[in-house]
Each structure stands twice: as structure tokens, then as C-alpha cells.
């Protein structure tokens, strides 16, 4: 039946992204205060706050910020400003003074109209921007290690990195997502040796990671017993570095098979990379790094290793070459910086890893300054660290231990949701597809709901609670907006909307939240904090939920119905867009 009813909100028009054209009340206030006080309105803009509760207005200006400059008491400044502030278009119909603060109340009619017009014009590009146009952003994330399990320790980098990627793209930046695979290092010498000896016994095509892990453990044990085997392994890696055909062929096989297995997880999460240049890619690019560092005179020998001393920066030295002559993780990262500067001419080069690597990146960023690169590149190296995942009983998962495979984890999420659906709504069509969106969405949302540096608590019941502050909750409210529109069968035309019909408290709360969406996305980008967006979506979903519970949407007087329907449509649009920016997909039913 639904297919027969015209559903204009399902139309996907290709509207060119543009700058938001919302009336910027904050800027209007800043300009006026700037004119009166003779202070740069950009500074004023920074001072303007959003009060914690609605009784204190929509914006507040702390007058004490000008006290020094104007040589007056805040209270007096407040009085003076209030008297002189005139808004020609009545953008701010009311100003209050409260203890040295000026509280501004925006013109609600104007607010509603600017928001709805912008929604109508931009549709799913609402909140996007072109601030990033012409700027290149490298985002280095996920980056699991070849021949090792893609486990829960890589969940956060994958999810956070993906969201940052999407958010920046939405703001018009040209993003380059790099999966800096751990595909190089002495362990490959061992794997090659193990495979050479017992390869036939293992079915690495069928089950690459598990089988390669077994081979690795077995050869490692043998190395401990027999020094000569260890030597063979070292030789293999040396050969690999020199491009030996047999070793390269095996290494490539391990890599291809591993990537194929990782791809299953990326498919489930619908994550794509622009580059899979991992550590191996830099094997032939490290000599240049070493050469440059030699020329600076700062590359010194220490206990047989070659290091850059960083004691003047209060850091342990950065090891460029190990005692056995082999290169390091850090050297590869230095080569990668040079490559990315040249290849991508980046404006920012962002690394998303756990806080365990804070020191590593500090060292690398410091040493990068010695590479002779333009400051533009070395000033824009950004490490975005995050906390560990903790199970409810307090166990941590690190990069090493606690091997819960991501694939298993995501599958478990989906099957748990299937069980819930079977209990609550057994006749739902496309159950499997919907369970996928909900289950995986729940895991993603849980990962993004707190400031990233906090440890994440991983608890199924919490993240799958449909009434909690969760992914499923946002999806559930979104589905509500859809079903209201399905029921009415139309989205009203904007021209027919009487904005006065949305001036009740609940509607206004939603309008204000929608008004802030673009700003929220920008903040999330600036701070590399998807949680800002995640929390915003919860507020919006909650606001809609209480609006929905307190009001009749369909069956009211036509004008009221149309106004509320339009608001419902706008809410659904922003919920979906926001969730997508977190990497979450929306079901249309649930």
C-alpha cells in the first residue's frame, strides 16, 4: 500500500551542497554589540554563550568580558547596551538583564521560518557546508595487523575514524581514508618460515587468520628452542625486504587473505577506504628518512640502536633503527608523513588510535619536524586518542589481549536483536536486514556516546535498550516519524505552513535543536568528537518523543496538522542524517 501513496520525503534530489543560509542570530547580536562598544564583533561572537536553561534566553552575553576595555562595571555595561541595542528587523524582540548578563530571546517566528525554509531547500544536505572546500584531510584509522585477528581492540579506531571521515566530508573537506595496515615487520619472517615448513598442514585459504595464528605460535615456540630457526626467520625477513620472489609471494598471499577476511567486517559496517597503503608500502621509502635525519646530525648511536634523542622535550628517544639493523614502526610512520605531504598535500593528517600510542605519536611528530617539510605539514599532525573498552566486570581489552573477534561481536549484536524482534514484533518483514541495522547501529552508537578518551563500557543490555540513550532508541524514534508520515501519506508544502502553529513549547524545542544541527556537526569536527553529535541526536529524539506523546499530529485542524507533519518530516531528516554521520543506518520499520 505504501508504494502507491506518493512519498515525497523519499525523493533523493541532488542538491548542490552550499553554505547554510540560516539566519545567524548569534552573529546579528555580535555585530550589534560590536558596533556599539567598538570592539571586534568576532571577539564578541566568541563570548556569547548558550544559557543552560530556556528561562535565561536563547543567547547570553557576559558583560564582564568588556569591563576592562570599557572601564565600567558589568551591570552598567549591561544597562547601556540594553538601551542602545536596536534590532531593525526585530530579530531579537526581548532582552533581559540578569546579574551582569544580557539575555537575548530570538524572534520565534523568524526562527521557525528560517529553519523550515532551509530544510526545504537543502533536504538531506541540511547542515552541510563548504567550509572544507579545497582542503585535504588524511584520516588514518582502523589499521589492523595482517595475519592477526581483527579484534575488539580495533573497534574504536574503526568506528571513530569512520565517523570523523563522514563528518569532515559533510563539511566539504576532501577526505582520504587510509587503512595503515600492519603488514610489515619481523613477524613475517617467522610466518614465512612456518609456512615453508608446515604450510600443507594448514588450510589458510579457508580460515586464514586462525590458521596463520597457529603457524605463528608454533614457529615462535620452535624459535625459542632452536636459535638456528630464529636465524632462518630473520633471514626470511631480510630477503623479504630485498624483494626475494618466494618470500614476497608468500607475504602477498598472507596479506591478501587477511584483507579478504577483514573485508567482512568492513562490509558489515559499510566502511570504505581510499588507500590500503600500510607499513609495507613504506619499506622502500625509509632510506630517505634515514638519510635526511643523518644530515641533521641528530641521528645518534645508542646501545647499538640508532635514535633521535628527545630528552630536551622530556620524552624517551625515538628509535629509528633497531640494534639488529631493522627499521621500526616509527620510521615507517615518518616515511608515511613525507609521502602523505607530497601525495595528498594535506591540510590535516589525523591518526585515530588508542591512548596507548600517545607517546609514539608525540615522538614521531617531534622527529617529523626534522624532515625538512613545510611547517604546514608538521603543524597539522593530529593524534586523536581514545580509551579502552571495558566489559561490565571491569576487564579491559587492549590491542594484544582479550581476543574477541569483531566479526563475532557484530554477529552477536545482530542475533541478539533478532531475538528481541522475534519477541516483540515477530511478523516484521525483512527481519534480518533490520536486525543488522539495529544491532550494528547499537554497537557503533555505544562506542560514540562518550567523550572518546573515556573508557567505553561494553554491556549488551545497556546498548540494546530501546528506551535508553542508545542507537536503537534513535532508530525507534526515527521510525516513528516515518510511520506518522506514512499514515498521513504526504509531506505538506512549505508554502502552506502557518509558522504560528509551531509556537508551542515542544515544537519550539525541536525547531531550536534542528536550528543547531550544523553548529553541532562543526563542533564535532573541530574537536574530533562524534559524541557531541551522538548526544545531540538523543536530545532531538527525546524532544520529538515528548512532542509526539503530548500532541496529536494527524487529525487536528488542517493547519496544525500540516505544521506538525512538516516538523515530523524535518526531525526524521535530521535524525537520519546525523545517524549516518556516525556510521549508523536507519531502518524504515522496526
Query: In angstroms, what is the minimal distance from the CB of 351 to ligand ARG?
Result: 5
Q: Which is nearer to ligand ARG, 125 or 363 (CB)?
A: 363
**Residue 249 Cβ vs ligand ARG, minimum distance, rounded to whole Å:** 23
CA–CA gap between residue 349 and residue 376 (Å, rounded) = 11
Instruction: Give the long-range contacts of residues 500-506, CB within 8 A, separation 24 or more.
Output: 500/109, 501/559, 501/560, 501/562, 501/563, 501/564, 502/112, 502/563, 502/564, 502/567, 503/108, 503/109, 503/112, 504/551, 506/543, 506/546, 506/547, 506/550, 506/551
Which CB sits closer to ligand ARG, 145 or 568?
A: 145
Least Å distance between CB 171 and ligand ARG?
Answer: 23
Q: What is the 3-state secondary structure (H, E, C) of 52-91?
A: CCHHHCCEEEEHHHHHHHHCCCHHHHHHHHHHHCCCCCCC
Q: Please, what is the minimum distance in Å from the beta carbon of residue 353 to ligand ARG?
A: 5
Q: Which is nearer to ligand ARG, 151 or 512 (CB)?
A: 151
CB nearer to ligand ARG: give 125 or 145. 145
Q: What's the min distance (Å) between Cβ of 141 and ligand ARG?
A: 8
Task: Choose between 140 and 529: whose C-beta lies nearer to ligand ARG.
Answer: 140
The answer to whether the CB of 551 falls within 8 A of the CB of 479 is no
Nearest distance, CB of residue 144 and ligand ARG, angstroms: 6
Question: Is 107 or 353 the residue whose CB approaches ligand ARG more closely?
Answer: 353
- In the sheet that holds 389-391, the strands lie side by side as 396-397, 389-391, 456-458
Helix (H, G, I), strand (E, B) or coil at 241: helix
What contacts 290, CB < 8 A, 6 or more positions away? 299, 306, 320, 321, 331
* Rounded Cα–Cα distance for residues 333 and 254 (Å): 22
**Facing residues of 382 across strands?**
350
Least distance (Å) between residue 239 CB and ligand ARG: 23
In this structure, what C-alpha cell is assigned to residue 268?
558489515
Provide the 8-state DSSP code for 467.
T
- Which of 140/576 has CB closer to ligand ARG? 140
Closer to ligand ARG by CB, 117 or 360: give it. Answer: 360
As a whole number of angstroms, the distance between CA 131 and CA 153 comes to 34
- Please answer whether residues 497 and 563 qualify as being in contact, where contact means their C-beta atoms are separated by less than 8 angstroms: yes
Instruction: Output 335 or 533, the one with its CB closest to ligand ARG.
Output: 335
List residues near ligand ARG by CB under 6 A: 140, 143-145, 180, 182, 333, 336, 351, 353, 399
Least distance to ligand ARG from the beta carbon of 157, Å?
7
Closer by beta carbon to ligand ARG, 45 or else 355: 355
Rounded distance, CA 564 to CA 499, Å? 10
Least separation, in Å, of the C-beta of 303 and ligand ARG? 24
Q: What does the alpha-carbon distance between residue 153 and residue 388 come to, in Å, rounded to a whole number? A: 8
Give how far Cα 320 sits from Cα of 125, 293, 295, 301, 305, Å. Answer: 46, 9, 14, 10, 8
Residues 6+ apart with CB under 8 A from 31: 41
The least CB distance from residue 316 to ligand ARG, in Å, is 17
Q: What are phi and psi of 243, to 5 degrees?
A: 85, 20
Amino acid at each position: 500500500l505504501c508504494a502507491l501513496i506518493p512519498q515525497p520525503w523519499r525523493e533523493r534530489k541532488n542538491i548542490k551542497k552550499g553554505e547554510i543560509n540560516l539566519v545567524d542570530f548569534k552573529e546579528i547580536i555580535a555585530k550589534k554589540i560590536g558596533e556599539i562598544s567598538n570592539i571586534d564583533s568576532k571577539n564578541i561572537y566568541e563570548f556569547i554563550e548558550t544559557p543552560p536553561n530556556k528561562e535565561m534566553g536563547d543567547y547570553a552575553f557576559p558583560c564582564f568580558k568588556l569591563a576592562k576595555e570599557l572601564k565600567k562595571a558589568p551591570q552598567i555595561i549591561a544597562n547601556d547596551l540594553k538601551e542602545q541595542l536596536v534590532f531593525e528587523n526585530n530579530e531579537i524582540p526581548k532582552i533581559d538583564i540578569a546579574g551582569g548578563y544580557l539575555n537575548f530571546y530570538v524572534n520565534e517566528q523568524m526562527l521557525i521560518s528560517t529553519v523550515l525554509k532551509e530544510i526545504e531547500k537543502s533536504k538531506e544536505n541540511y547542515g552541510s557546508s563548504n567550509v572544507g572546500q579545497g582542503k585535504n584531510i588524511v584520516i588514518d584509522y582502523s589499521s589492523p595487523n595482517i595475519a592477526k585477528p581483527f579484534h575488539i581492540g580495533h573497534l574504536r579506531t574503526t568506528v571513530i575514524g569512520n565517523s570523523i571521515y563522514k563528518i569532515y566530508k559533510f563539511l566539504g573537506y576532501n577526505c582520504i581514508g587510509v587503512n595503515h595496515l600492519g603488514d610489515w615487520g619481523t613477524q613475517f619472517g617467522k610466518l614465512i618460515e612456518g609456512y615453508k615448513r608446515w604450510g600443507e598442514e594448514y588450510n589458510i585459504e579457508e580460515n586464514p587468520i586462525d590458521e596463520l595464528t597457529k603457524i605463528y605460535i608454533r614457529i615462535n615456540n620452535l624459535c625459542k628452542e632452536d636459535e638456528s630457526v630464529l636465524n632462518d626467520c630473520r633471514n626470511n625477513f631480510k630477503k623479504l625486504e630485498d624483494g626475494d620472489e618466494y618470500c614476497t609471494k608468500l607475504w602477498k598471499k598472507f596479506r591478501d587473505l587477511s584483507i579478504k577476511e577483514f573485508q567482512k567486517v568492513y562490509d558489515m559496517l559499510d566502511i570504505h577506504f581510499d588507500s590500503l597503503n600500510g607499513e609495507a608500502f613504506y619499506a622502500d621509502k625509509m632510506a630517505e628518512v634515514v638519510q635526511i635525519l643523518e644530515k641533521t646530525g641528530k641521528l645518534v648511536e645508542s646501545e647499538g640502536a640508532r635514535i633521535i634523542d628527545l630528552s630536551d622535550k622530556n620524552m624517551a628517544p625515538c628509535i629509528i633503527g633497531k640494534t639488529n639493523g631493522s627499521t621500526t614502526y616509527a620510521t615507517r610512520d615518518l616515511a608515511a608523513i613525507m609521502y602523505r605531504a607530497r601525495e595528498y598535500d594535506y591540510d590535516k593528517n589525523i591518526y585515530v588510535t588508542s591512548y596507548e600510542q600517545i607517546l609514539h605519536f608525540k615522538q614521531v611528530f617531534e622527529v617529523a619536524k626534522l624532515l625538512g617539510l613545510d611547517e604546514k605539514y608538521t603543524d597539522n599532525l593530529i593524534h586523536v586518542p581514545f580509551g579502552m573498552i571495558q566489559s561490565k566486570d571491569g576487564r579491559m581489552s587492549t590491542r594484544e589481549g582479550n581476543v574477541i573477534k569483531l566479526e563475532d561481536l557484530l554477529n552477536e549484536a545482530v542475533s541478539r536483536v533478532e531475538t528481541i524482534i522475534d519477541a516483540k514484533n515477530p511478523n516484521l518483514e525483512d527481519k534480518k536486514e533490520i536486525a543488522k541495522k539495529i544491532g550494528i547501529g547499537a554497537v557503533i552508537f555505544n562506542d560514540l556516546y562518550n567523550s572518546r578518551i573515556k573508557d567505553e563500557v561494553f554491556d549488551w543490555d545497556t546498548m540494546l535498550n530501546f528506551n535508553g540513550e542508545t542507537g536503537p532508541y534513535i532508530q525507534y524514534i526515527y521510525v516513528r516519524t516515518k510511520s506518522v508520515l506514512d499514515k498521513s501519506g504526504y509531506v505538506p508544502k512549505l508554502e502552506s505552513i502557518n509558522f504560528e502553529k509551531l509556537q508551542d513549547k515542544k515544537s519550539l524545542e525541536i525547531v531550536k535543536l534542528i536550528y543547531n544541527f550544523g553548529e553541532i556537526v562543526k563542533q564535532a569536527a573541530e574537536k574530533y568528537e562524534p559524541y557531541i553529535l551522538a548526544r545531540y541526536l538523543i536530545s532531538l529524539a527525546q524532544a520529538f518523543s515528548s512532542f509526539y506523546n503530548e500532541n496529536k499530529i494527524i487529525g487536528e485542524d488542517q493547519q496544525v496538522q500540516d505544521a506538525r507533519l512538516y516538523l515530523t518530516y524535518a526531525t526524521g531528516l535530521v535524525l537520519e542524517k546525523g545517524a549516518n554521520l556516525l556510521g549508523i543506518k536507519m531502518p524504515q520499520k522496526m
